[in-house]
């Protein structure tokens, strides 16, 4: 019996309810670091609202658990798998690759991490040819860069790859005319595409 | 007459070239987002809101409203062609849209959907123009107690009318509110809930982090599970003759249009309802009142028109409380409301006097967007069909890129991106177990506003909760509060009522 068959909706329901109850208790304890009292004389303590909101959350999860024990909720009677094996592979790989992506962004910077993320993801899930995947994985970060850094002037994290971008910034904010910049933009998108296209032809 | 002047100003505002370009662009994106299975208006607006920070608020709201609007049109495309609703708002469109496509009359279904959307949108925006100014005038007299009461009512509608498991719904509301208290306390200035002393929590949790997490990452995980990366499409022949015939078939759907437009608008105004229940209700009622109700479900144009009319009408309706009261009428407007705060506006009736260009620009743009979306929708049907052929395995990583960059951009901290991933995953798991996620998004947006209103009211009343229930002192607040209480206890009477009713039947 595989793992995905063992995790039934029933088991997931009770496990999640217990985890949420524990989280609510943790929130209550954390809120109690501030004053949680409130009466007519003194103002509301900073911990008052978070404390009672998380108490409410705890009560709701306890009700969910009671409904589960009494078999009142549809999930408490459901013995089907929480997720089927094929979908589990999709979800697990997606989540792991996203976590690796965000880890990599902190170190490598977003643009290079995106190249690896897209290349891996498309290679793993789609049946596209390598030339397509390469073009896609290179042009998407370039477009992201142009959109965020050039149009919106929002710097995205660059990690250790930052020095590589200095010449690009020099060009962007240098005294070049609009036309030169536009030609540059078009070339940055077209060149990698053309390169990949040509190499894929030769390799064949 | 004053309204007409404002409205004309608004229409001219939305016709300025920059706004008009954004409007058309927004309609296109909306149609695209709506057409993609798994993505709806709320996902589009949540993912796109970070890129509106550099444009003026009026242009930003026109753009996002156009996305919202376009998505309501676009949802029908995949409902008809794939048999998968493009968004939850288009679920009811599948009932008759899909059978029509199977019969080879896909073009009739698509045209009926587009025209239905147009009629619903137009009727509702006229109702909106009529209702908004007087409602805003009434709302101008609202103070902190009334505002707080309204917010309690917004939460209560989820419990009373949401139809989901009650403890799970309340949990969702409370966790959204609890998340919104993270950060510095606005009265005492003390830091609250700074987990593991991570400094990132000091500036609180931006609602966008939760919204993009749930509606971007979570939704993608959900759709990946549903479709496993692949889609199946039915065939379509496009020619002008077909379009003409489709228009001919619409004569019989006038009743559906009326029901959809009016019902949709008023259901849309309710905070918990929004476009999905509006379209389902409209379909149900049209079916019941129709002379040939037996043909519904086998492919009649009226069965497509009714829900499509209603979902567009409801999306406009849900903007009414957002603009006049500062209470969103749907998850999408909750995100728009959060956006308004980020753009530096104070949602609520004061907008009508302080930011008339913003309010009327938005209303005017709805008229214009309606027209453009109809034209673009019918003209670009072949293009959207090509888009629908894009396998999900390619679309998903692009959406993830948008989510990660969109989660990072507003605060420029990776801390928020991590939170977004966490919320996305948690939202996906919770949604699989029937925890409604929309209330959490609504309450993280309203949380800070509700807390401010509550604490101001309590300062007014020297700490007495009586201020919310005293009919002689604060009649409006009290009435709203009592309605909220009725809504909150309503689900408790549901099973009781059913049990009594059943007993009668068996007796």
Alpha carbons within 13 angstroms on the beta-carbon side of residue B362 total 28
- In the three-class reduction of DSSP (H, G, I as helix; E, B as strand; rest coil), residue A153 is classed as coil
Work out the average pLDDT over B401-421.
Answer: 88
* Chain B residue whose CA is closest to A117: B397
B391 in contact with chain A, both atoms CB, cutoff 8 A: yes
How many Å apart are CA B360 and CA B351, to the nearest integer?
10
3-state secondary structure of A24: helix
CB pairs under 8 A between A and B: 161
Confidence of residue B24 (pLDDT cuts 50, 70, 90): very high
CA-based nearest residue to B438, from B340, B328, B322 = B328
Distance from the Cα of residue B190 to its chain's centroid: 35
A187 Cβ neighbours under 8 A, 6+ residues apart: none
Has residue B297 been placed in a domain?
no
Residues of B in contact with A90 (CB under 8 A): 224-225, 228-229
Q: What is the pLDDT of residue B506?
A: 46
CA distance B417 to B400: 11
Q: Which domain holds residue B415?
A: 2-288+315-506
- Please give the Cα distance from B227 to B232 (Å, whole number): 10
Q: Do B463 and A40 touch (CB under 8 A)?
A: yes
SS3 at position A8: strand
Of A87, A102, A126, the CB nearest to B393: A126
B389 contacts: CB under 8 Å, gap ≥ 6: B231, B233
State how far the Cα of B283 lies from the Cα of B304, in Å rounded to an integer: 8
Q: Do A155 and B190 touch (CB under 8 A)?
A: no
SS3 B239: coil
**A39 contacts B463? CB cut-off 8 A:** yes
Say if B408 is an interface residue toward chain A (CB within 8 Å). Answer: yes
Q: CA B301, CA A96: separation in Å to the nearest integer?
A: 45
Element (H, E) at B506: helix B475-506
Contact yes or no for A118 and B404 at CB 8 A = no
Put simply, the answer to whether A110 touches B405 (Cβ < 8 Å) is: yes
pLDDT in tens, chain A (204 residues): 577 778 899 999 999 999 999 999 999 999 988 888 877 667 778 888 999 999 999 999 999 999 999 988 888 888 888 988 888 888 999 999 999 999 999 999 999 999 999 999 998 888 778 888 888 898 899 888 888 887 777 888 888 888 888 888 888 787 777 788 788 778 877 777 777 777 777 665
Cβ of A152 within 8 Å of Cβ of B53? The answer is: yes
How confident is the model over B84-109, as pLDDT tens digits?
776 778 888 888 888 888 888 888 88
Which residues of chain A are within 8 Å of residue B400 when distances are taken between CB atoms?
Answer: 98, 101, 117, 121
Contact at CB, B414 and A157, closer than 8 angstroms: yes
Indicate the number of domains in chain B. Answer: 1
A116 C-beta neighbours (distance < 10 Å), count: 15
Cα–Cα distance, A79 to A70 (Å, whole number): 16
Q: Do B181 and A49 touch (CB under 8 A)?
A: yes
The total of other beta-carbon atoms located within 10 Å of residue A138's CB is: 22
**Model confidence, pTM:** 0.85
Nearest CA to B70 out of B299, B324, B384 is that of: B384
Pairing, β B191-192 against β B183-184: antiparallel
Does residue B307 sit within a domain?
Answer: no
Contacts B429 to A, Cβ<8 Å: 12, 16
What pLDDT was estimated at residue B497?
A: 66
Render pLDDT for B295-350 as a digit per residue (tens, 0 to 9). Answer: 888 888 888 999 999 999 998 999 998 888 888 878 889 899 989 988 888 888 88
The residue in chain B having the minimum alpha-carbon distance to the alpha carbon of residue A39 is B463
**How far apart are the C-alpha atoms of B221 and B229, rounded to whole Å?**
10
Q: What is the pLDDT of residue A1?
A: 52
CA distance B226 to B142: 46
Nearest CA in chain B to A9: B433
DSSP B52: G
The stretches of B270-380 forming alpha helices (DSSP H) are 275-289, 301-317, 319-324, 331-342, 350-354, 356-379
Give B447-465 pLDDT, tens digit per residue.
888 898 898 888 888 878 8
The values of phi and psi at residue B300, to 5°, are -120, 145
Whether B51 and chain A come into contact, CB under 8 Å, resolves to yes
Contact across the interface for B409 and A152, Cβ inside 8 Å: yes
Among candidate residues B318, B242, B236, B313, the one with its CA nearest the CA of residue B274: B318
Q: Which of residues 452-491 of B touch A (CB under 8 A)?
A: 455, 458-459, 462-464
Mutation for A interface: B167, B198, B444, B450, most A CBs within 10 A: B167
As a dihedral over the C-alpha atoms of residue A177, residue A180, residue A186, residue A188, rounded to 10 degrees, the angle is -110
Chain-centroid distance, C-alpha B504: 40
Residue from A92, A125, A148 to probe the interface with B (highest B Cβ count within 10 Å): A125
Would you list the domain boundaries of chain A?
3-77, 85-203
- Tokens representing B327 are 């209470």
Measure CA of the first residue to CA of the last residue in chain A; give whole Å: 44
User: Which of B81-95, B175-189, B362-376 has the least mean pLDDT?
Assistant: B81-95
Separation between Cα atoms, residue B433 and residue B99, nearest integer Å: 31
Stretch B155-164: mean pLDDT:
80
């Amino acid at each position: 019996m595989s793992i995905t068959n063992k995790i039934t909706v029933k088991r997931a329901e009770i496990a999640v309810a217990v985890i949420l109850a524990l989280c609510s208790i943790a929130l209550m304890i954390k809120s109690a670091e501030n004053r949680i009292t409130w009466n007519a004389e003194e103002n509301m303590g900073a911990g008052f609202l978070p404390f009672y909101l998380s108490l409410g959350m705890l009560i709701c999860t306890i009700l969910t658990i009671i409904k589960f024990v009494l078999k009142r909720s549809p999930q408490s009677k459901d013995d089907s798998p929480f997720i089927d094996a094929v979908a589990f592979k999709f979800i697990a790989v997606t989540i792991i690759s996203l976590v690796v992506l965000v880890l990599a962004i902190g170190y490598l910077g977003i643009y290079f991490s995106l190249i690896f993320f897209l290349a891996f993801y498309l290679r793993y899930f789609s049946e596209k040819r390598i030339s397509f995947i390469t073009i896609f994985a290179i042009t998407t970060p370039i477009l992201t860069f142009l959109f965020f850094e050039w149009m919106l002037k929002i710097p995205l994290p660059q990690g250790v790859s930052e020095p590589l971008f200095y010449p690009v910034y020099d060009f962007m904010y240098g005294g070049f005319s609009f036309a030169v910049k536009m030609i540059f933009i078009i070339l940055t998108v077209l060149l990698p595409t053309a390169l990949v296209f040509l190499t894929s032809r030769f390799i064949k | 007459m004053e309204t007409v002047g404002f409205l004309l100003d608004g229409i001219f505002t939305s016709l300025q070239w920059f706004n008009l370009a954004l409007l058309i662009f927004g309609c296109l994106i909306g149609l695209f987002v709506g057409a993609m299975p798994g993505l709806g208006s709320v996902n589009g607006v949540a993912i796109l809101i970070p890129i509106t920070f550099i444009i003026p608020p009026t242009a930003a709201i026109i753009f996002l409203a156009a996305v919202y609007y376009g998505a309501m049109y676009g949802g029908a495309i995949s409902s008809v062609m794939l048999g998968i609703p493009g968004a939850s708002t288009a679920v009811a469109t599948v009932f008759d849209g899909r059978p029509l496509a199977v019969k080879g009359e896909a073009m009739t279904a698509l045209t009926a959907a587009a025209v239905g959307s147009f009629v619903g949108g137009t009727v509702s925006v006229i109702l909106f123009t009529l209702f908004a100014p007087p409602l805003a005038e009434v709302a101008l007299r609202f103070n902190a107690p009334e505002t707080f009461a309204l917010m309690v009512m917004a939460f209560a509608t989820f419990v009373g009318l949401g139809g989901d498991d009650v403890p799970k719904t309340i949990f969702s509301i409370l966790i959204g509110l609890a998340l919104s208290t993270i950060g510095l306390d606005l009265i005492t200035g003390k830091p609250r809930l700074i987990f593991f002393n991570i400094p990132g929590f000091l500036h609180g949790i931006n609602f966008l982090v939760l919204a993009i997490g749930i509606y971007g990452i979570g939704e993608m995980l959900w759709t990946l599970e549903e479709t496993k990366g692949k889609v199946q499409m039915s065939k379509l022949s496009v020619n002008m003759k077909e379009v003409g015939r489709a228009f001919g078939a619409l004569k019989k759907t006038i009743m559906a249009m009326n029901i959809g437009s009016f019902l949709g608008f008023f259901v849309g105004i309710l905070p918990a309802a929004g476009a999905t229940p509006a379209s389902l209700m409209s379909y149900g009622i049209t079916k019941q009142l129709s002379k040939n109700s037996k043909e519904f479900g086998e492919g009649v144009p009226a069965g497509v028109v009714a829900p499509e009319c209603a979902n567009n009408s409801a999306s406009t309706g849900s903007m009414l409380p957002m603009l006049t009261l500062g209470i969103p009428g749907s998850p999408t407007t909750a995100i728009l409301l959060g956006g308004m705060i980020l753009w530096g506006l104070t949602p609520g009736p004061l907008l009508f006097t302080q930011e008339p260009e913003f309010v009327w620009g938005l209303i005017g743009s709805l008229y214009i967007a309606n027209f453009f979306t109809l034209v673009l929708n019918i003209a670009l049907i072949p293009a959207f069909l090509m888009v629908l052929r894009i396998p999900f395995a390619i679309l998903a990583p692009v959406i993830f890129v948008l989510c990660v960059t969109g989660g990072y951009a507003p605060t420029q901290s990776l801390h928020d991106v991590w939170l977004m991933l966490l919320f996305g995953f948690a939202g996906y798991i919770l949604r699989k177990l029937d925890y409604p996620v929309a209330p959490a998004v609504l309450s993280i947006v309203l949380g800070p506003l509700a807390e401010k209103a509550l604490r101001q009211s309590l300062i007014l009343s020297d700490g007495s909760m009586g201020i919310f229930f005293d009919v002689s002192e604060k009649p409006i607040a009290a009435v709203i509060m009592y309605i909220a209480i009725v809504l909150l206890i309503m689900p408790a009477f549901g099973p009781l009522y059913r049990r009594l009713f059943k007993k009668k039947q068996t007796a």
